[in-house]
């Protein structure tokens, strides 16, 4: 297995009732998050976002006609020390592109990389997710709706 690129996406999935989908990681059950994933070689961030949503939840954004929105927010954060072995030596910072998508929460969720999921209010989701960039994505999205 090669190293991961230090570039990724975060996709905030919410429903028409403004509930946020959060996922519990298998490799760290205390870590709850939105959909995330590494941008593959020659892949655009928006392509990664659609692919990762499909891989992690089974939701086919394109096939379902959902609108994947590029928020134009780009975060940089320190890679967690316990995950640095996945990246090239000397890489300590990840660049993350943030997207949102509104989906029907009755759509079945098929988990492949997570233990469980739940739909939460924005405030509950902000309390549950681990990463600061995920908390900010939730806050920014729902503040912009007001």
96 is annotated as contributing to ligand binding: no
131 is annotated as contributing to ligand binding: yes
**Cβ–Cβ contacts within 10 Å for residue 134, how many?**
24
52 is annotated as contributing to ligand binding: yes
CA dihedral in degrees (9, 77, 114, 48; nearest 10)?
10
40 is annotated as contributing to ligand binding: no
48 is annotated as contributing to ligand binding: no
113 is annotated as contributing to ligand binding: yes
135 is annotated as contributing to ligand binding: no
Listing DSSP states for 60-128 in one string gives -HHHHT--EEEEEEEEEEEPPGGGGGGS-TT--EEEEEEEEEE--TTSPP--SSEEEEEEE-HHHHHHH
Residue list for the binding site for substrate: 4, 25, 36, 131
Residue list for the binding site: 4, 25, 36, 52, 56, 113, 131
Residue list for the binding site for Mg(2+): 52, 56, 113
């Amino acid at each position: 297995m090669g190293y991961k690129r230090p570039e990724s996406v975060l996709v905030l999935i919410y429903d028409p009732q403004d509930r946020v989908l959060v996922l519990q990681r298998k490799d760290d059950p205390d870590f709850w998050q939105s959909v995330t994933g590494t941008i593959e070689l020659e892949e655009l961030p928006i392509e990664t976002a659609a692919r990762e949503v499909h891989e992690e939840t089974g939701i086919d954004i394109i096939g379902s006609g959902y609108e994947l929105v590029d928020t134009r927010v780009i975060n940089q954060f320190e890679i967690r020390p316990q995950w640095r072995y996945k990246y090239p030596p000397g890489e300590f910072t990840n660049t993350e592109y943030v997207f949102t998508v509104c989906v029907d929460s009755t759509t079945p969720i098929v988990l492949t990389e997570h233990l469980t999921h739940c739909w939460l209010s924005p405030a509950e989701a902000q309390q549950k997710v681990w990463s600061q960039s995920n908390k900010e994505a939730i806050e920014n999205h729902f503040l912009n709706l007001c």
